[in-house]
A and B are shown apart, each in its own frame.
Chain A
Amino acid sequence: MSAIAGSGPDARPDAELVAAYRGGDERAAAELVRRHLAAVGRFLYSAGAGPSDVEDLVQETFFRAFRRIDGWRGQASFRSWLFTIAGNLHKDEYRRRRGRQLVSIDDRDLPDRADPDADFAAGEAEDRLRKGLAGLPRLQREVFLLRAQEGREYDDIAAALGTTPGAARVHYHHAVKKLKELVR
């Protein structure tokens, strides 16, 4: 394990790392975690997971992904595929808590600033956005996050979420419209 911990970044594309992991290379798995960890964490947090739950959910996302790695066939990007797993996990967690909203006022990811007023305003805005996102239908929320947060193209989003690029575009615009009203 220390060999894995000591390894530096690996420039190989995701598909090669996945193939290497399928062949038993754990370093490839470690690189995939390093590469996508932050994005998966931000996605989960933005979708409504509490900061204290994010690490466990991220870990579970990668565990499930590697356990059924053959399920990724490269139609969508590896990251988008991870997001669909994270989205399912978040949905299960939401159900497990019997629909209780995961977002709470205390669960804000407050930015580290010296200005307390700016902190508060930023925290308020962030809180409204997270609550708005949590209130969206799942597909709208995930399309919006994949597009706005990750800058993914509609083709990739559609492949990951099992829809068409045109439908993904419509979901995005519905999400923007609702969020504008909720966040205003």
Chain B
Amino acid sequence: MSLCERLSDRMPAVAGGEAWTADEQAHLDACADCAAEWALVRSAKALGAGVAADLNAHHVTERVLGRLRADRSSERTRRWGYAFAGLAAAAAIVLAVSGAPTGRASSTGVDVAANLILPELDSLRTPELEALLRTMDRQADENGIDLAPPLPSDLEGEDLDGVLEALEG
């Protein structure tokens, strides 16, 4: 490695506070190319010091953290929206299946609901799940849909026979 290359490698460190050795300083005084590079590195090191000093760390921190909180909040809302949409779709399937006359006890709304896979619900904690179910109940009430599992007294004909057969084994 030539002395010019060695000096070039050392320049950032010297600009950061280290000292030149006597040999390095002598070379720098004699080599116009190295002197020009050194002037460039020193200028770059000083560039923008005034602008940086004007930056208000507290102000920037407050604004960044505020935006991050707002971003997390809207992300949560979006996820709830997706979860609710998934749940509503699942509920529609439950209602459609449980409302269909099949004649088999195993195809009642309760069984179908228990066997449905709802990956949207996996990430929800109990209070969130309860809140969603309450919302679903309210929606069902407003639309005149009965989400309760059918009672034996609600069943007729083949459906009732199917339930009784299942109970008697």
Interface SS of chain A: helix, strand, loop or mixed?
A: helix
B40:A66 contact, CB within 8 angstroms: no
Q: B-contacting residues of A (Cβ < 8 Å)?
A: 1, 4-5, 26, 29-30, 33-34, 37-39, 41-46, 51, 54-55, 58-59, 62-63, 66-67, 109-112, 125-126, 129-130, 133, 144-145, 147-152, 173, 176, 179-180, 183-184
Contact of B44 (CB < 8 Å), options: A1, A66, A149: A149
Residue in chain B with minimal CB distance to A65: B64
Contact string against A for B residues 69-90, beta-carbon threshold 8 Å, 1 for contact and 0 otherwise? 0010000000000000000000
**Distance between B38 CB and nearest chain A CB, rounded to angstroms:** 10
Q: Pick the contact of A41: B8, B16, B51, B65 (CB < 8 A).
A: B51
Chain B interface size band reads 35 or more
Asked whether A38 lies within 8 Å of B47 as measured between CB atoms, the reply is no
- Chain A residue with Cβ nearest B71: A67
Within 8 A of A (CB), among B49-63: 49-63
Q: Is the interface of B mostly helix, strand, loop or mixed?
A: helix
Contact between B64 and A63, CB atoms less than 8 A apart: yes
Q: In the docked arrangement, what's the CA distance between A125 and B12, Å?
A: 19
Q: Would you call A46 and B61 a contact (CB within 8 A)?
A: no
Q: B64 and A41: CB pair below 8 A?
A: no
Q: Sorted from nearest, which 9 A-B pairs have the closest CB atoms?
A: A42-B48, A45-B48, A38-B52, A151-B12, A148-B44, A41-B52, A109-B50, A45-B51, A148-B41
